Chains A and B, each alone.
Chain A
Amino acid sequence: MKAGGGITSPEPGRATIRFLLDDRIVEVHDPVPTRSLLDFLREDLGCTGTKEGCAEGDCGACNVVVGERVVAAQGERLRLRALAACLCFLPTLDGKALFTVESLKAADGVLHPVQQALVECHGSQCGFCTPGFVMSLFALFRSDEAPTAAAIRDALAGNLCRCTGYRPIVEAGARMYALGADERDWLRRPGAGSEAGESERALLARLVALERRDPLCIDGPHVRFDAPTSLAGFAALCEAHPEACILAGGTDAAPWVRKRHRPLPHLIHVGRVEELKRIVPDGGGLEIGAGASLRDAFAALDRLYPELAALWRRFGAMPVRNAGTLGGNIANASPVGDATPILIALGASLLLRRGEAVRELALGDFHRGYRQTALTPGEFIEAVRVPRPQADLRVRGYKVARRHDQDVAAVSAGFALRLDGRNVCEARLAWGGMAATPKRAPAAEAALLGRPWDEAAVRAAMAALEEDFRPIDDLRASSTYRMKVAQNLLMRLWLETRREAPLAAAQVDLRSLG
């Protein structure tokens, strides 16, 4: 590999992807595009430290850390984020820097502070989940210099451990900061720091050298993989191949392949289309590119709607939010969807593009039936537009599930309510998990509009909800429970926002205690 030259064109007839693993460049010729990074690491490279626990992104045993160049305030940096290797299709690694559990121990055998802390805190028992915890903590170590206990738990919410009960692992997440920051080795320095040091800059230079300027196309015997580099190119491919599957974070697509053995003959990857990753101010609101990661999208939304931070914390877990996108989440049209109900309530809309043609559609009109959307063939979501907060709009987002961390909601809800003096003049109430799509509840909204925001009104809306929804029984909850909770969430909205003696968080939110 020549340094500094960059890759300008693929070899004719042959597709080669390249990525950095520690100090070496890994080259893969004609990879099977749907091969997972996990299988590649374990089977092809013999890097068996990364474990398979579930192969669907729900246990964290295969977590790795992927580094990408980003432009920060103080110049170019390497941004490190934890990802589930089982959810990464191999070609999406092209041009990136990969770190696995085997990357961290120094050549002289000295453990990385993350590893040393886990040993000292007795954070491993059977040890099988441990490499995944190491990598989640390593990503935290490199991005946060002094995390709160809550931030440590957030970083670990996608990792399952069946042995320890987690206490020693959380303690290791604090203890690692007390163990030998090594100024010479940037990987052993906690926090991102203000600017890149020498070794980080060297790594960035190697990534620049690896950068592919042209679109990547792997035309394999069973699967074709396209990674265009511009919005126009992306749109053209989608228009020309309306049957292709658009691949964003792979958090849904990878399990389709691995678990359901579903063929995906053509993938068009959003990951290298910079225009789709942008998050830009939009008249006081935000325009969030459909390819922006959930983590970036939520960070931006937090600045607009801080009251929703706790809801985003429960969306998947860190590796899923690092990989997944808001556009992908909306396009896959889950009946539950943690984000969609609240975005509907906020009055979000979608920019849909087909070729050159762009139209805007209210998010509430996008989902047409179970896993069905308003997208026409060749059309895709370009961006999500979220309006600016209005001063008198009361906004709440709720998620109800049996587990706090990384669970699918039984019921989710998003509410936006405005009072005109004492009467309700605007009410957008949306639920997930109550129907084939996330949707608003017109009868419940009608029961509130024009009425004083009092207990009688909220009880009327709760009753009206039974006209709006006939939820189903499934493994997560019964129909009865869903309806009861959906109604109770309206009661909660009222308790939290009523004019007289509204309840504080400590009186309604069990996470605010202790």
Chain B
Amino acid sequence: MEAIPMSVPAAPEGVAHESARLHVSGEADYVDDIAVVAGTLHAAPGLSERAHARIRAPELEAVRRQPGVVAVLTAADIPGINDCGAVVADEPILADGEVRYVGQPVFLVVADSAETARRAARAARIDYEALPARLDLAAARDKLDLVLPPMQLRRGDPQAALAAAPHRLVAEWRAGGQEHFYLEGQVSYCLPVEDGGLHLWCSTQHPSEVQKSVARCLATTANRIVVEVRRLGGGFGGKEAQATGFACLAALAAWKLRRPVKLRLDRDDDMCATGKRHEVLYRLAAGYDDSGRILAADVEMALNAGHCADLSGAIATRAACHVDNAYFLPHVDIRALCCRTNLQSSTAFRGFGAPQAALATEYLIDTIARRLDEDPLAVRRRNFYGGEGRDLTPYGQRVVDNVLESLVAELEASSEYRLRRDAVRAFNADSPVLRKGLALTPVKFGISFNLSHLNQAGALVHLYTDGSVLLSHGGTEMGQGVHTKVAQVVARTLGVSLSVVRIAPTDVSRVANTSATAASTGTDLNGKAAEAAARRIRERLAAVAAAHFGVPLEAVGFAEGRVRAGDAEMSIAALARLAHRARVQLWSDGFYATPSLHWDEDSMTGHPFYYFAYGAAVSEVVIDSLTGEWRVLRADLLHDAGASINPAIDRGQVEGGFIQGMGWLTMEELRRDAEGRLLTHSPSTYKIPGVSDCPPDFRVRLYPNPNREDTILRSKAVGEPPFLLGISVFLAIRDAIASFAPPRVAPPLRAPATPEAILDAIEAARAGAGV
């Protein structure tokens, strides 16, 4: 097949990740790599073995007796509030009298080694009194057992429009959840310091939330708790809310024992205890005309929230705001239900409800196209936002930056979509076992936290008298490159080389009251805040230079580490020393709040997003009709990152997001037994994409499109939107399956499309059973 050596690729352009050299040499420190202080203890949680039960007698004596065990802590040991709920106070740090899912932390063992603590935790014999457990999302939906009030977003008269539509489509459908599988598991290291203080190193996307929750749990004040984050070994949303409880446990043990305590979850415990992407059960109805244009849509999403609210409210809101994806839906009724089950608390995960919502509409449109025997791309186009009176989202925000048509047209041409559509048809006509499929799907993704007040950030920039710069901001680095991009912004603003800008760990004692690094907003918010800080320093320096050289302020410029004032110039280091002697402040804070956002929670309308990011993908797959196995042969991605600050990093986000989205809809399947135990709790049973799943022909480009809004250097957020491009793989698989179906039959396909789901769908297709 591939007998020739792989040709040597040229080095791609772009500024490398600020930690790249440290990553490859093993010198990048993660929390578990920090040299521990003498006397450090290690903690491990004891996890619930029941999905729902009253704890009659927690028999922990056997745990305490294990050699090496120093303490066993329970809810009764918490001096403050036993809660780590991100929004609603419904999530105990340690179960108190009742357990609500298998894997819930019940107690904490503190021992002289992690191995001892983990082994000892298994010695517990807890007497449970079983309570009725709800493990099935459909049952929770039917009983309307919800963790939050239901949400509804409605425009026009959807029921009348549905009734009047020439064609109607009604379907029930389901998409599975997803484990984050950050390579670095949840970990915190807590060092007690004087006067009741604690210093925490934590792998969290939300240091301020950890600070707040730890203070509340220990009945102390935030100013005693320092939370520091140099980098995370992956987050993807899984360390936005989920890191908090475990940080509280490490802090509790350190506070109680006055000893440094590390808590690093074993991979299996991590997967059993922590939340995942929301599984969703859809009830869908659409009315459409002969051209496939949607006249009305009725979309109910029952989201499996798990045992508590967590971030489900915000996720459901974003889901409701992304049912439209790229399409104008004239009459629409969207309902989002956060259903309670006795499972892990579903939580933030890249896309934050938007992938589940957009998937429903993409599935509907794909189904409509098949029913009409049309190319799905043609039907998609007819439904795009754009054209007279077709630019208003269901939530009342106008789409003013729409590039869907031109972006998709460019991708259609560059991917040779039409030629390949014909080639796929020809291949399938002559292929008894293997079948190919092709699909193009778009994404339009709203950028900003739905909750307007979260859209703020702070930064702190120090210029030292040797000309070196230290940058702190509120964002956390989890691989997405926020530190690199923000450093680039600061270097550019100060006119210095990137190599003199050093990034300090994120630290709540440097920048306070930060928002989570989430919603793709890290660079947008922190970049602007850091730019403001750097600009202030530059303005002060400019005044010093103008006075020193006797030139007007306008004649002062900064570039390449030097200041130019008229014909004179000097190094910025020299200027810094000059300014310091003149008693000019050489450091500055900076603050940013995204303008013009508003959101009304009750009516679910407003202007929640500063702008939209766009993209599209064409995936070509081949499936094996004997086994249901499949493979992507080629993927073409075109994505709008605005005026990219760092094309290499942005491309990495686009590719990585696509593969992760593909994993969600194909091989990643969460399986549980009848008692609610997660069976897929390790990489041996839960399969994320591997190297052979990367398309052998993978063409990824950024779409040049400077942001019309005044974002940082006119760039666009890029973390989450490309995740939705993975939907093209799912629908390409469905396209391949449809080759077995009679015309106008849209075969049903479960998500995730495992080989088993694919084989079932082929069988349905052959039988002519459609959605």
Contact = CB atoms under 8 A, between A and B. Distances in A.
Interface residues of A, number: 99
B4 A48 contact: no
Contacts of B20: 118-119, 122, 124, 127
B634 A514 contact: yes
Given A49-B27, A157-B690, A400-B755, A56 B682 contact: yes
B268 A259 contact: yes
Nearest to A487: B626
Contact of B184 (A101, A126, A481): A126
A372 B184 CA distance: 37
B694 A167 contact: yes
B479 A126 contact: yes
Given A153-B692, A157-B690, A53 B184 contact: yes
Given A153-B692, A510-B630, A165 B23 contact: no
B680 A475 contact: yes
B626 A488 contact: yes
Given A58-B682, A408-B684, A125 B622 contact: no
A125 B692 contact: no
A54 B691 contact: no
Contact of B690 (A100, A128, A146, A405): A405
A513 B631 CA distance: 9
B522 interface: no
Given A51-B184, A58-B683, A477-B756, A149 B24 contact: no
Contacts of B268: 259
B431 interface: yes
A123 B19 CA distance: 11
A129 B183 contact: yes
A175 interface: yes
Interface stretch (B6-14, B133-141, B401-409, B532-540): B6-14
B448 interface: no
Given A115-B25, A148-B2, A163-B479, A402 B233 contact: no
Which DSSP category, helix, strand, loop or mixed, fits chain A's interface? Answer: loop
A170 B293 CA distance: 42
A511 interface: yes
Interface stretch (A223-231, A264-272, A347-355, A489-497): A489-497
Given A111-B24, A164-B652, A507 B8 contact: no
B431 A174 contact: no
Given A49-B25, A149-B2, A261-B119, A56 B184 contact: no
Interface in A323-372: none
Contacts of A125: 17, 479-481, 652, 656
A131 B26 contact: yes
Nearest to B232: A126
B289 interface: no
A293 interface: no
B376 to A, nearest CB: 22
Contacts of B1: 150, 511-512
Contacts of B35: 46
Interface string A465-492: 0000000000111100100110011011
Interface in B572-599: none
B691 A157 contact: yes
A42 B113 CA distance: 13
B7, B23, B122, B756: residue with the most chain A Cβ atoms closer than 10 Å = B23
Interface in B671-705: 671, 679-680, 682-685, 687-698, 700
A211 interface: no
B659 A165 contact: yes
Interface in A91-147: 100-102, 104-105, 111, 114-116, 118-131, 134, 146-147
A403 B690 contact: yes
Interface in B629-643: 629-631, 633-634
A171 interface: yes
B1, B6, B651, B667: residue with the most chain A Cβ atoms closer than 10 Å = B6
A166 B24 contact: no
B12 A492 contact: no
B682 to A, nearest CB: 6
A503 B627 contact: no
Contacts of B660: 162, 165
Contacts of B3: 148
B21, B25, B624: residue with the most chain A Cβ atoms closer than 10 Å = B25
B610 interface: no
A508 B35 CA distance: 54
Given A48-B29, A404-B631, A405-B690, A122 B648 contact: yes
A153 B11 contact: no
Given A50-B26, A127-B22, A510-B622, A162 B9 contact: no
Contacts of A48: 26, 29, 32-33
Given A174-B7, A513-B633, A126 B478 contact: yes
Given A163-B479, A503-B432, A514 B12 contact: no
Contacts of B146: none
Contacts of B692: 153, 157, 404-405
Interface in A412-463: none
B37 interface: no
Contact of A171 (B9, B624, B630, B755): B9
Nearest to A178: B8
B754 interface: yes
B655 interface: yes
A119 B8 contact: no
B256 interface: no
B471 interface: no
A318 to B, nearest CB: 11
B501 to A, nearest CB: 18
Contact of B683 (A56, A130, A508): A56
A167 to B, nearest CB: 5
A227 to B, nearest CB: 24
Contacts of A249: none
A485 B627 contact: yes
B698 to A, nearest CB: 5
A150 B52 CA distance: 48
Given A127-B19, A128-B30, A400-B627, A115 B24 contact: yes
B655 A128 contact: no
B329 interface: no
B236 interface: yes
Nearest to B19: A127
A62 B473 CA distance: 32
Given A403-B667, A405-B690, A120 B759 contact: no
Contact of A513 (B33, B234, B434): B434
A481 B758 CA distance: 11
Contact of A162 (B16, B19, B236, B480): B236
A142 to B, nearest CB: 16
A514 B436 CA distance: 12
A59 B233 CA distance: 14
A120 B23 contact: no
Interface string B752-764: 0011100110000
A481 B694 contact: no
A280 to B, nearest CB: 30
B750 to A, nearest CB: 12
Interface of A: 39, 42, 46-56, 58-59, 61, 100-102, 104-105, 111, 114-116, 118-131, 134, 146-150, 152-153, 156-157, 159-171, 173-175, 177-178, 259, 261, 400-408, 410, 475-478, 481, 484-485, 488-489, 491-492, 495, 503, 507-508, 510-514
Given A149-B6, A164-B655, 12 more contacts: A51-B183, A121-B11, A121-B12, A122-B649, A128-B30, A163-B234, A164-B652, A168-B652, A174-B6, A405-B690, A485-B626, A485-B628
18 contacts: A42-B32, A46-B35, A51-B30, A114-B24, A120-B16, A125-B481, A125-B652, A148-B2, A162-B234, A163-B479, A164-B652, A259-B682, A401-B629, A403-B687, A407-B687, A408-B685, A507-B432, A514-B697
The 3 closest A-B pairs by CB, nearest first: A49-B26, A126-B479, A128-B233
